[in-house]
Structure 1
Amino acid sequence: MTAWALAARGGDPEAVEHFVRALHRDVQRYVAHLCADPQAVDDLAQDTFLRALGSLHRFEGRSSARAWLLSIARRAVIDSFRYAAARPRLADVPDWQLAVENAQPRDLPGFDDGVVLLDLLESLPDERREAFVLTQLVGLPYAEAAAAGDCPIGTVRSRVARARATLIELLTDQTEPGDQDQLAALAAA
């Protein structure tokens, strides 16, 4: 991926296409876990790639292209939060919360488990959630997650370990006694 980024930096349109295709899903998953608005994920991923392609001439390959791109994604999400905070949107419906709930997908396989997972992840402190998502859901190596999160690798390892412990504790509190063996198997994976 880094080779494609460097080739794209040199003006190779095929390398640009490979670079975007190879990292698009990772960017979308990372952005989805950073922002709370599922409808904004595609826009934020597109914004990430626009920013990256616009500054590709400055990419020198000192870090992996994935870590570089995910750090851009992180800044895109932060900028979107700042923009939204400065310009709140008005809803032209009597009960905007009901309208949002009705717009959410329902009856999809695994949807309820996904909602539970998002709720559990939301209960984690921001830094731990980010480290957990980068390493466990996006699949980044700890070094790349450290570069994307702008912190030392030991900090990422500590945050992931603490996030796992918190999630296991939360799941233990919510499960039936018979489900404890399944939970232990999941925690060991």
Structure 2
Amino acid sequence: MTPARNFRPRPDAADDAATTRLALAARDGEPAKVELFVRALHRDVWRYVAYVSADRQAADDLTQEVFLRALAALPRFAGRSSARAWLLSIARRTVVDSLRHAAARPRLSDLDDWQTAAERSQPQGLPGFDEGVALAELLASIPAERREAFVLTQLLGLSYLEAAKAADCPVGTVRSRVARARSALVSLLRDVETAAPVGHRTGTVPALA
């Protein structure tokens, strides 16, 4: 299943409480309960791995791996943190493991596959351009740690404290990374606007508010 790529409001405390209850209920492994838990958080996990890994092509496989790991660990989930923060910490480890595995493989070519190259060459601001792709391309150009902090807090709506737990770093570090990511993205957006034809200078990427 390919998740919708529209941007949604950040989850509130009630939403987090609801998904945490689903996780706690699914600890017994009953298929219907597990399905509800997976459905509730699938989109957030997919977006996280897609943006943080900077590899939307591999996002489906990474998301599946995240949930396989999560379901194996679910009986030990005690609800001391929100299910979303807990699951995203598993997603982070999954992405790190995937990147390490990829780095260990011999590189056969310096060229990207044709599909990735085609996506990167697609002009922004044209009808049908996917704003999720536009944002992913911008995020891919900033350092991974800043990208992760931005995705956790600005796209997935975790608090700075929750993001710090998921990223295994101090809260102050998350705040600094988010600020630097925002600054870099604003600069990149200005460059895009400057380079785009006048007729196409429309908001293809969500505002960084």
Give TM-score scaled by structure 1 length: 0.79
Name whichever of 162-171 and 24-33 sits farther off: 162-171
Greater Cα shift, 146-155 or 130-139:
146-155
Q: How many angstroms apart in 2 are the aligned matches of 1:123 and 1:103?
A: 17
Output the CA distance in 1 between the equivalents of 2:82 and 2:44: 14
- Counterparts of 1:92-107 in structure 2 under 5 Å? 97=112, 99-101=114-116, 104=119
The aligned residue for residue 184 of structure 2 is 166
Q: Could you say which residue in structure 1 is the equivalent of 2:25?
A: 7
The residue that corresponds to 1:129 in the other structure is 147
Residue number among 58, 62, 70 corresponding to 1:52 in the alignment: 70
> Which one-letter code corresponds to 2:182 in the other structure?
R
**Among candidates 61, 67, 89, match of residue 43 of structure 1:** 61
Aligned to 1:109: 128
The DSSP-based 3-state class of the residue aligned with 2:128 is: coil
Displacement of 1:20 in angstroms is 0.3
Higher mean alpha-carbon deviation, 20-29 vs 130-139, is at 130-139
When residues 133 and 100 of structure 1 are mapped into structure 2, their CA distance, relative to the original with a 3 A threshold, is: same
In structure 2, give the amino acid aligned to 1:27: V
Q: How many residues align?
A: 183
Which structure is higher in helix share? 1
- CA separation of 1:9/1:124 partners in 2, compared to 1, >3 Å: closer, same or farther? same
SS in 2 for 1:175: helix
**Alignment partner for residue 33 of structure 1, among 39, 48, 51?**
51
Of residues 20, 23, 37, the one that matches 2:38 is 20
Q: Which amino acid aligns with 2:104?
A: A
Q: 1:149 to 1:36 in 2, by over 3 A?
A: same
C-alpha distance in 2, partners of 1:163/1:48?
A: 25
Return the offset for 1:136. Answer: 1.3
Unmatched 5+ stretches in structure 1 = none
Percent of aligned pairs sharing the same letter: 62
Q: Is contact 1:66-1:144 (8 Å) kept?
A: no
The runs of 5 or more residues in structure 2 that have no matched partner are 1-18
Task: Pick the structure with greater CA Rg.
Answer: 1
- With the length of structure 2 as denominator, give the TM-score of the two structures: 0.72
Q: In the alignment, is the contact (CA less than 8 A) between 2:150 and 2:178 conserved in 1?
A: yes
